[in-house]
Amino acid sequence: MKNIFLLAVIILINSSLSLAQKTNEVKLLIRCDDIGMSHSVNMAVKELIKTGIPFSASVMFPCPWYQEAVDILKEAKHVTSGIHLTLNSEWKNYKWGPVSGKSAVPSLTDSTGYFFPTRSAFNGNNPKLDEIETEIRAQIERAINSGLDIKYVDYHMGTLVEKPEYRKILVKLANEYKLGISRYLGEVDMQSMYADPIEHKADSLYIRLQKINSGNVNLLVCHIGMDNPELRAMIDLNPNGLKEMSKNRQGELNALISQKFLEIIKSNNIRLITYKELIEKVGLENMKEPPGIEY
């Protein structure tokens, strides 16, 4: 009888400890944008996949390299795939245009049939709402037909959430295709590495990870890539575009695949989740527009 009592006490203590650990658990959702933009970005996501950490990958389906990205992601069962809905083409000498074709959405393109490089140029061309819907629908259809298990959408450069009338299209189509919308599921943005100096990206991330609190799903948006000749040749035409973009993207990748990153995740009781898990927990029916949408 005494042994049974002791066993019951031990089980109760272990259960209490387990509950305390879960209560203090910090949830982190890593979203990697611009997948499929270029071969070097695809090779970077391949490196991140090798670590085995769960993350979400947002694919740009109008871009020339999206099919390679699809092949890579199909083999990564621990990665949740989404659509990086795209209405801009921001690089000098490297362009893409609408999936639906210029003739179907002429107000979304320049004279050569490519998307505009900046949000201001896009809006300055007075884009028609029905054409925005046509193109976003075409991108979603291409994504679904690619064979990937698409779970969510987000928005390249923030163009699709810049105006209320654009956001209505986003919500309408997400609901129609039963997809989650990034930041509409209660996530809280933590400061990204994007603007951090190259030499301090990793350390800045590690410091922030040790300060994030439980109770929220913390969203870390990343832009990874390989510092190689392909990516070095790409120059951002946006006024706030990063100099040495390829080195910045390599820096983000290095931070995420480092042993120190994995150690900090473990020592700070951080659990990595993806949009698949978040959508299952929150429910698509409970999505709502956040008070302030980050780009």
Which comes out higher in pLDDT, residue 12 or 86? 86
Structure tokens at 149: 């298990």
pLDDT at site 24: 76
pLDDT above 70: residue 97: yes
CA distance 102 to 115: 9
The residues, ordered by sequence, that sit 6+ positions from 231 with a Cβ below 8 Å of its Cβ are: 38, 40, 41, 225, 245, 246, 249
pLDDT of residue 3: 44
**CATH T-level fold of 24-286:** TIM Barrel (3.20.20)
The predicted-structure confidence for 159-181, as pLDDT tens digits, reads as follows 999 999 999 999 999 999 999 99
Q: For all residues of the chain together, what is the average pLDDT?
A: 92
Confidence of residue 295 (pLDDT cuts 50, 70, 90): low
pLDDT at 16: 33
Other CB atoms within a 10 A radius of the CB of residue 68 amount to: 18
Per residue in 20-35, pLDDT (tens digit) is 344 578 999 999 999 9
Confidence of residue 213 (pLDDT cuts 50, 70, 90): confident
Measured distance between the N- and C-terminal CA atoms of the chain, rounded to whole angstroms: 63
Q: Are 82 and 154 in contact (CB under 8 A)?
A: yes
Q: Are 119 and 162 in contact (CB under 8 A)?
A: yes
Instruction: State yes or no: pLDDT of 9 exceeds 60.
Output: no
Place of tokens 């970077």: 44
Structure tokens at 295: 């780009």
- The HSE-up count of residue 221 (CA atoms within 13 Å, CB side) is 19
Pick from 67, 39, 32: which is nearest to 232 by CA? 39
Average pLDDT score over residue span 177-192: 96
pLDDT digits (tens, 9 = 90+) for 242-256: 999 999 999 999 999
pLDDT of residue 144: 98
Read off the pTM.
0.91
**pLDDT confidence bin for 292, thresholds 50/70/90:** confident
Are 117 and 90 in contact by the 8 Å Cβ rule? The answer is yes
| pLDDT exceeds 50 at position 18 | no
E strand or H helix at 49, and its extent?
A: helix 39-50
Instruction: Note the pLDDT of residue 17.
Output: 33
Tell me the domain boundaries of the chain: 24-286
Strand locations in the chain, DSSP E? 26-35, 55-59, 79-85, 91-92, 150-155, 180-181, 188-189, 217-222, 235-236, 270-273
Q: Give pLDDT tens digits for 100-145.
A: 999 999 999 999 999 999 999 999 999 999 999 999 999 999 999 9
Token digits of residue 2:
């005494």
